[in-house]
Structure formats: structure tokens, C-alpha cells
Amino acid sequence: MKIGELAQASGVAASRIRFYEAEGLLPNAQRQANGYREYDDDALTRLSLIRRAQNAGFTLDEIRAILPPDLKAWPHDTLLEMLRRKVAEIDALAQKLAVSKRNLTSLIDAIEHREAGEDCVAASQRVLASVREGDIGGDNGTEIVPRRAPVGKRA
């Protein structure tokens, strides 16, 4: 199939297909007498694999390392090792994101809840001081809990 047909069938732009070919992710297409690229069905499979791998968080270098020249001859051990490594990276990222979410939630809570009799200026100064001291919204990978428990929500 020609590059336009491959682009339409795969949902990948022709320019992206040429890029993948230049980067070694797709084998060089056969050239017709008129110079047009001619792709086989393996190219469609490879494009699907590349897109799925990118969606899973793999870089192009990682994808290149696991895509064999012949799709019928996968490097089993290498593939499993890279897949397990990516799962571990995703787990670590999920943990960091969970801590970041808790820290941001603590910061939101500290901003929304003022102590009894505390005006907006005093509340903002308290929150800023807590941020400076690392009590709220920390970035060191640990969960941060505000020192003062919120008493009431004020509008």
C-alpha cells in the first residue's frame, strides 16, 4: 500500500510515517518505479504497536530496542524485561502523583478553612508560612499535613 493508504488505515500522518522510517522504527519501504513508497501489512502492525507503546509511556528509543526487524521473532527476554521496567516506572510515578495530590489537597484545605476569628490576610499569611516551613504542599516526596486542624469553613 502507498503511504497515503497506510496513513489512512493506521490513523498516523504520512509525515509521521516518514519520520518513523527515518528513525528506524519502520523498515525502509520498497520504492516503486515512480519513486512512491510501497508498504506491506507489517508496516500497519508496526504502526499500531508503536502507537500503543507510546500510549503506555515508552520512548521511541525504548520502542526501537524492543521492535525486532522481523515481527515473527520477538526477543522474549528483552521484551519482558522492558515491560516489567516500564510497569515499575509507572508504579513509582503513581506513588509520586498520589503524594502530590495529597499535598495539594492539604494546601486547598488550609486555604479554604480559616480558624475562628481569622481574617483572610491572617489566613493567607498562616498558609504561606506553612508552605515556607514545608508543613503544607511539600515537594520532597513525603506527605505533608497542616499543623493546625481547620476549625470552620468561611466564605
Q: Is 117 left (phi over 0), alpha (psi -120 to 50) or beta?
A: left
Fold of domain 3-60: Multidrug-efflux Transporter Regulator; Chain: A; Domain 2 (1.10.1660)
Reported as a single tens digit per residue, the pLDDT across 6-35 is 999 999 999 999 999 999 999 988 998 998
Structure-derived torsion over alpha carbons of residues 27, 31, 32, 33, reported in degrees to the nearest 10 = -170
Q: CB neighbours of 100 closer than 8 A, spacing ≥ 6?
A: none
Query: DSSP letter at 67?
Result: -
Reported as a single tens digit per residue, the pLDDT across 87-136 is 999 999 999 999 999 988 888 887 787 777 878 788 778 878 877 777 66
Mean pLDDT value of segment 62-90: 89
Asked if residue 30 lies in contact with residue 37, where contact means CB atoms within 8 angstroms, the answer is: yes
Closest CA to 26 of 9, 57, 51: 51
Q: Give residue 141's pLDDT.
A: 47
Alpha-carbon distances of 62 from 44, 54, 56, 85, 120, rounded to whole Å: 19, 9, 11, 11, 51
pTM, two decimal places? 0.67
Number of continuous H segments (helices) and E segments (strands) in the chain: 6, 4
Domain chopping of the chain, boundaries? 3-60, 89-153
Identify the residue whose cell numbers are 507510546. 54
